[in-house]
Chain A
């Protein structure tokens, strides 16, 4: 009996060493290939493991609705409906509604209906080519916002015959918004979520400092350690769109994947990279806003982008910007000055705007 007690005490000692989990060091990190990109989900805390896998489930669920290349997805059903109305799930209906809103606010710079144009360039299927002007003009005639059968109530959506949509410019931002809900549900104290150009810096580092988020230097895109600057972020969404990310070259010309809906050609606005940052606590899907605006402002160019930022400053969903221009400047809006670290030796001229 005494021997049994001794063993129980020893096991208790062992359990005492293992049981307390430090929420700042217990973490789970998983990599997910989804939405045509590589995602890295790192969660902390006692529930870090189920939280990380719940994040993955959320991404998979959204991908099953939003994918344009999966023939069974809701978007594919909508694109192939020949103009008929299609019932959609709540997330897809909401995202199309949000896309319509940003299309209006950005004067068409964000347009999910240029999917046929992006396909003509081969960016959807990875079979790159330069389409003819006639072909582009023909495809641009198909542009237009999806219609809701009962305006204001998300039930079913229809496209014009021949029209199709691609949610690639905003889907990852929406996924980041939904992941934020998962992190809050699982009471995760901190997380670092990277969804291929979309980052959710939730909480801060275990040592109490902000997450350090590097902005890739477009001029040295082949070097993953080369940054144009570093953002120090806590509880923030940050999204970058750049013409150096996906592109092909033909006859010495560089063609990137961000299409200007007005011309059907890759946007040529004088910007090489646009980073949009917003607070997690903002209402109305701030992650989606960052994603939508990073694309739209890239298309609009520096002057219009800054005008848009100034106009938006007093709204209930303000955001901040880091613009990198073709002529070697890094333009940082005033709200980021304390959170942005210049990269010494990068060769850029740094400017702050107000």
Chain B
């Protein structure tokens, strides 16, 4: 009795495509996991309004044009700039970091304006009256940075 290979078992282009797709997906997952899930990556600003994400952008995009957000009857203007030691007077020297700040808000507390410039992942500016949060995600991790702030 003789056997001969079935023509159906010969690899086809479709098989190659499936194999390559699976391999690529596996590699992508491995890289994602190696980087620790959602940490790392380019520094990104995420603006949420009343708990819902409303905007997402690279901070440098605000170099050309500030962005304005309105919620709960209050309006905030977010700009990109240099982190001065005393933002109220733009006093030099700057700390050497650039980032986002709320340059204007018509909210009653002004806590968001007083927060100053945020420049690294994990920092946020909160306007409670407007229920708006401007948060930075990603960016290079630094073991010397703080994980949380009291006060």
Q: Which residues of A contact B (CB under 8 A)?
A: 2-3, 6-7, 10-11, 13-14, 17-18, 22, 25-27, 29, 31, 33, 36-38, 40, 126-128, 192, 194, 197, 199, 201, 205, 207, 209, 211-216, 218, 220-225, 227, 230-231, 238-240, 242, 244-246, 273, 275
CA distance A220 to B115 in the complex (A): 10
B residues in contact with A36, CB < 8 Å: 128
Known: A14-B26, A38-B133, A222-B86. A213 touches B147 (CB 8 A): yes
Q: How far is the CA of A211 from the CA of B151 in the complex (A)?
A: 16
Across chains A and B, the number of contacting residue pairs, with CB separation under 8 Å, is 138
Distance A207 CA – B124 CA, assembled complex (angstroms): 24
The 8 lowest CB-CB distance pairs between A and B, nearest first, are A216-B151, A240-B150, A214-B146, A38-B126, A25-B36, A222-B116, A240-B151, A126-B108
**Interface contact A246-B29, CB-CB below 8 Å:** no
Establish whether residues B108 and A197, one from each chain, have CB atoms under 8 Å apart when the complex forms: no
Most buried by B among A26, A127, A212, A225: A225
Tell me, in angstroms, the Cα distance from A36 to B127 when the chains sit together: 10
Chain A: CB-nearest residue to B149:
A214
Q: Does B17 belong to the interface (CB within 8 Å)?
A: no
> Given A3-B9, A126-B109, A192-B148, A222–B114 Cβ distance below 8 Å?
yes
Are B83 and A223 in touch, CB under 8 angstroms?
yes
CA–CA, A246 to B111, complex, Å? Answer: 8
A40 neighbours in B (Cβ, 8 Å): 124, 148
> B93 near A: Cβ within 8 Å?
no
Q: Which of chain B's residues 4-41 have a Cβ closer than 8 Å to chain A?
A: 8-9, 15, 18-19, 22, 25-26, 29-30, 33, 36-39
Q: How large is the interface on B (under 10, 10 to 19, 20 to 34, 35 or more residues)?
A: 35 or more
The complex places the Cα of A275 from the Cα of B149 at a distance, in Å, of 11
Q: CB-CB < 8 A to A207: which residues of B?
A: 143
- Contact A212/B114 with A7-B18, A197-B151, A245-B151 known, Cβ cut-off 8 Å: no
Which one, A13, A213, A220, A225, contacts B148 given CB within 8 A? Answer: A213
Query: CA–CA, A37 to B126, complex, Å?
Result: 8
- Report yes or no: A11 in contact with B22, Cβ–Cβ below 8 A: yes
Q: Which positions in B face A, CB cutoff 8 Å?
A: 8-9, 15, 18-19, 22, 25-26, 29-30, 33, 36-39, 48, 50-51, 83, 85-88, 95, 97, 108-109, 111, 114-120, 123-124, 126, 128-129, 131, 133, 135, 143-151
Chain A residues lying within 8 Å of B26, measured Cβ to Cβ, are: 13-14, 17-18
Contact of B19 among A10, A37, A223 (CB under 8 A): A10
Contacts of A194 in B (CB 8 A): 148-149
Knowing that A25-B33, A31-B135 touch, tell me 9 more A-B residue pairs with CB under 8 angstroms.
A10-B19, A17-B29, A17-B33, A126-B108, A209-B143, A212-B147, A222-B88, A246-B111, A275-B150
- Residues in chain A near residue B85, CB distance under 8 A: 220, 223
Residues of B within 8 A of A238 (CB): 150
A181 to chain B minimum Cβ distance, whole angstroms, is: 20
The answer on a CB contact under 8 Å between A13 and B22 is yes
Is the Cβ of B150 less than 8 Å from the Cβ of A223?
no
Establish whether residues A26 and B37, one from each chain, have CB atoms under 8 Å apart when the complex forms: yes
What's the Cα separation between A268 and B98 when bound, in Å? 36
Q: Is the CB of A215 within 8 A of B151?
A: yes
| Distance of A228 from chain B, by nearest CB (Å) | 9
